[in-house]
Amino acid sequence: MKTYLQEAIVRHVLTFRHITTATLLAGALTVPGQIWAQGSDDITVLLRSGERISGRLEDLNNGTLFVRVSTHDQRKLPVSQVALIDYVGGAQGLPETELGPARGADHVMVLRNSQIVPGHLVDIEGGVGSDKPDDRRVYIFRTTGGEERRVAAEQVGRVYLGQFPAAQGAAGAATSSALSMPESASGVRVPANRPWTATGVRVNEGQTVNFNVQGEVQLSTSSDDRATAAGAAGGRRAADRAPLPSALAGALVGRIGSGAPFGIGNQTIVPMPATGELFLGVNDDEVGDNSGGFVVDVKPQPMPTRRRR
């Protein structure tokens, strides 16, 4: 038979265990970053060149993916050069069930429950290394149906960023085309065989943007069917079902979000018609047989400040 003192000691021990467990649980709930920060940001990035870069995801900002490879080595990767962000497989052994959709123009998010979601990666917010280090890291993804989804990073398996290169060995290097984009040029790479390319640049209505365009596009398998940013050579070729039927085929065009297309061509200064993310494309109604593309240096100019009366 237990004495009163023994029962009191047992009650004290059980109470201490209950308080300790509750405290730990409360701490886990109030500081979730200490849980999902451990290894949850480790990724492998596959570039369109075939190069793999493994490290800790830090941020996606203004069209650049920031990856921390080591304490003193932060890589700044233009999104236009990124083919895949992989959390789960080291960008190797990619299944055909994913590669099929990934070869199309849409971005493809593959969740860890194997769900495949086509659409467009808009942004990555929160997490260590971003401008909101205390917030949970989330992927902002707009589906092809127009729904904007906020997906926690720990639910993401892989994100393909459109036109995934056909595999050549383990690296999955990009296939060659009849016409190539300038390799040495810097800026947003706008492939001619993709309807729209996200720049990662957000603009405001009325804001002027400076454009510097290099490159050339081939609009069919015919080697002389080519265009510069201003449009098809000779000034006569049109494409009736292109984004801008009134403009020359092959010209550089833009749109804000999913808004109406507008012409850019070889203009160096263009005012923005709306507020949102800037997309660039080639003015053609059938892009599947195109090759080459433009490299576009995009520089938004500061909005004028209003004077107080």
Could you give phi then psi for residue 142, rounded to 5 degrees? -100, 120
CB proximity list for 196: less than 8 A, separation 6 or greater: 105, 255, 279, 280, 281
List pLDDT tens digits, range 60-97.
988 899 999 888 889 999 888 899 999 998 888 888 88
Indicate whether 17 pLDDT > 60.
no
Indicate whether 154 pLDDT > 50.
yes
Question: What average pLDDT does the segment 141-157 reach?
Answer: 91
Q: What is the pLDDT of residue 51?
A: 86
Banded pLDDT at 183 (limits 50, 70, 90): low
Indicate whether 175 pLDDT > 50.
no
The residue with greater pLDDT, 20 or 219, is 219
pTM exceeds 0.75, yes or no: no
Largest Cα–Cα distance in the chain? 105
Angle ∠(39,44,46) on CA atoms, nearest 5? 165
Question: What average pLDDT does the segment 166-188 reach?
Answer: 53
Cα dihedral 217, 219, 224, 229 sign? negative
Q: What is the pLDDT of residue 92?
A: 87
Angle ∠(133,256,233) on CA atoms, nearest 5? 130
Say if residue 75 is exposed, middle or buried (CB neighbours under 10 Å; 0-12, 13-18, 19+). Answer: middle
If one counts every other C-beta atom within 10 angstroms of the C-beta of residue 102, the result is 25
- Which domains, from first to last, does the chain contain? 42-160 (no CATH), 188-300 (2.60.120.430)
Indicate whether 174 pLDDT > 50.
no
